[in-house]
Amino acid sequence: MKLTQTNDVKVYTVSGSDTSRSLPDWLARKRKRSLKNDLAYQSRIELIQDFGFPEASNRVRVTEDGQWCMATGTYKPQMRIFDFNSLSMSFDRHTNIENLTFLLLEDSWRKSVHLQIDRYIEFHTPMGLHHSLRIPHYGRDLVYCRWAAEVLVPAEGREVYRINLERGGFMKPFEVNEEVKEVLTGVQSDVHGLLAFGTDLGTTELWDPRVGSRVATVERASMDSITALAFDPTGLQLATGNAEGLVRLYDLRSPMPLLTKDQGYSYPIQNLIYLPPVHSESETKLLSADKRIIKIWSPSDGTPWTSIEPSVDINDVAHVKGSGMLFTANEGPDMHTFFIPELGPAPKWCSFLDNVTEEMEESVISGVNGEVTATTYDNYKFLTKPQLEQLSLSHLVGSSVLRPYMHGYFVKQELYEQARLIANPWGWEEQRKRMVQERIEKEREGRIRSSGKKVASKVKINQKLAERLAKLEEKLDRRAARKAEKEKEKAMAEGDEEMEGEDEAGEEKVQEQTKVMEDPRFKDLWTNPDFEVDETSFQYMLHNPSSRPTADGANGDTRKRLTAVEEEDAESSNASSDEESSSSESEPEEKPKKQFKEKKAPIMRISTASYRTQGHSSKESGPARKEQSFGSRMAAGEHSRKRERNFSKGQVYGDTEFTYKVEKKQPGGKSDAQRPVNRGGNADRRKDRRSASGNTFRRMGV
């Protein structure tokens, strides 16, 4: 499929001589092996199978229902019917003589009338040739008057022959001006039913089929003959094309032309087709074609829209209604198919063309950081409705500026750039700050002070999660390595070689495991902003109630990070403590090691008005102590008590010492040695009695 672009309008040549290298069947079979590696031949697109003729095609028509296509060509003279539903040729039918032009009499291909070059008119049905008749002079064109069921044949001379299909015979012909030597073309309006005939004198005569008389004549603007005619969809304008390549637009209420357009090559105009707008936002366009080029332009001011110039001469052009597809009958074996997405969508029977053209246009452009992936087109930008509101372009919805597509709209790239600049004039400054911040973060990653394992530079989001996973993986690796080393030493001590081999295999298996950071399944977790973990959201706090999120996304971790050396010391101490705990179970007599004491944080003290530190003994110590806060006094008292009570292990300190001794009570109470001397009859009883007014600690003087 070949792409050409004129005035920023893309035209795709789907089939034709410009797209692929066609080969005869016998040659394709002969070179089957060589064509297997021929990329140009294998990548060709054949939209409709056998869409062509052996030498050239003369005329092409598309049915009103849009499901069939009929074309005539040579050599041998024949007609071919193509079924769009199966994307192939339905059948072909040979004729005795070459066809000049033909018409479809109904919405399908089942009834058609053909004008041959030998003055015969043939009527064809699905069964074949139904009937043929001969006209007195050579015909030039065919016009079907649906209102009267008549076929009109402009021909040589000043007569237009009428064939009534209901009666099955000729009617009285229309006679044009006496000076006319040849009527070259004709057309009927679907709105008001007027007939227009172009003559060799350059005049255009308008006839009313109801009364069978001429109602108006458009005087000639030049001596060139009229070769093509077309009414616009409203029926108020008439387009004429002459033999010198000039197209003139007339209002039926005025004899003066509204607009004159030069085709540019001085060839006779062969086709004039009004292209109705597919969307309400677009305007009607006019297609004019000669044998060299097809031009599409605006009938209001003549502004060119786009053009198509195939490599072979054009004989006829047909438009598939409601779409952006054009068929051409031309000199050459292959008939051409052109698709213009901006003119309309692809027909229903080949809707896949929209996806194919989008894939050809689509280009994925990653952002500066690789974080945002946006799909853009050469001249258009796709925006969703929230993005339109952000750029203050939502008021353009429904206009021709925005083209609706799926869940958003296409807007021209120039308009998008202007709107973005107006909405955010400081965009460049923000981008510059962002680039500076990224460079700073990149330098921070290379510092010695880091959080555990160094995170790969490809991690753009979820830095905290990546650091935690890296630290956890490193911890698991060290634990697995220590476990494997212990098992290996144990196996070596026992002389078990098989166990050693199993350990090595297990260690290799652990090393072959894929890390989470390197797993391609979780690649978007570190690059795509849509997967960023919002630690301030309600869902995250619900699943992680112990977390303490901060505004800066620090995950509540405000502690000072350790350096790499401190981390190694802490890990070695943890490892040694694990070994001691495991060895203490087997050897209970082994003395525990000394525990590392953390360095105490310095106590900040507030000096008094006399510039004396807290705890300084003087006569004014009372008032100075009262000036201090309760927390400061408690801290000072605790500090002084700790200073006074320096003790070693096993030393008793405090105001009172309590000793508890558990003994089994004898049946007779206390023993004689412990029993005191009885100095009264009720002395023992008074001592054993419980006092209701006091307790034991109170009698001790505490």
pLDDT digits (tens, 9 = 90+) for 97-130: 999 999 999 999 999 999 999 999 999 999 999 9
- pLDDT means per 10 residues, the chain with 702 residues, are 82 74 50 58 74 92 92 92 90 92 92 92 92 92 90 92 90 89 92 91 90 86 87 91 92 89 91 86 88 92 90 92 91 90 88 78 40 47 87 83 80 84 78 82 64 57 84 87 87 65 51 66 81 84 74 47 60 59 48 47 51 48 56 63 51 60 60 51 54 58 53
Instruction: Using alpha carbons, select from 395, 528, 511, 417 the residue that is nearest to residue 462.
Output: 528
258-265 contacts at long range (C-beta below 8 A, 24 or more positions apart): 259/299, 259/301, 259/302, 260/221, 261/288, 261/297, 261/302, 263/288, 263/290, 263/293, 263/295, 264/293, 264/295, 265/290, 265/292, 265/293
Q: Rounded to whole angstroms, how far apart are CA atoms 441 and 350?
A: 52
Chain-centroid distance of CA 497 in Å reads 59
Burial environment of residue 679 by CB neighbours within 10 A (0 to 12, 13 to 18, 19 or more): exposed
Give the pLDDT score at 337. 92
Q: Rounded to whole angstroms, how far apart are CA atoms 138 and 593?
A: 121
DSSP three-state, residue 695: coil
Give the pLDDT score at 179. 87
Edge to edge, the sheet with strand 271-275 lists: 271-275, 285-289, 294-297, 304-308
To which residue do tokens 């052009």 refer? 317
Tokens of 211: 């009364």
> How do the domains of the chain map onto residue ranges?
2-19+48-197+209-255+269-357, 364-425, 446-491+506-572
Q: Which segments of 140-284 are extended strands (E)?
A: 143-145, 150-154, 159-164, 169-175, 183-188, 195-199, 204-208, 213-218, 226-231, 237-242, 246-251, 257-262, 271-275
Give the pLDDT score at 620. 45
Instruction: Using alpha carbons, select from 155, 161, 187, 156 the residue that is nearest to residue 174.
Output: 161
Give the Å distances, CA to CA, from 651 to 647, 659, 702.
6, 14, 21
Say which amino acid occupies 226: I
Q: Rounded to whole angstroms, how far apart are CA atoms 284 and 264?
A: 22
Tokens of 484: 């494997």
Q: What is the CA radius of gyration of the chain?
A: 49
Chain-centroid distance of CA 184 in Å reads 53
Query: What's the CATH number for 2-19+48-197+209-255+269-357?
Result: 2.130.10.10
Give the pLDDT score at 502. 52
Q: Rounded to whole angstroms, how far apart are CA atoms 283 and 274?
A: 11
DSSP readout, 155-195? BBSSEEEEEETTTTEEEEEEE--TT--BEEEEEE-TTT--E
Give the pLDDT score at 7. 83
Q: For residue 361, which phi and psi values (nearest 5 degrees)?
A: -80, -30
Using alpha carbons only, give the angle 507, 565, 457 rounded to the nearest 5 degrees: 70
According to DSSP, the β-strands at 2-6 and 9-15 are antiparallel
Say which amino acid occupies 685: R
Edge to edge, the sheet with strand 68-74 lists: 56-62, 68-74, 78-83, 88-94
Q: Rounded to whole angstroms, how far apart are CA atoms 224 and 244?
A: 7
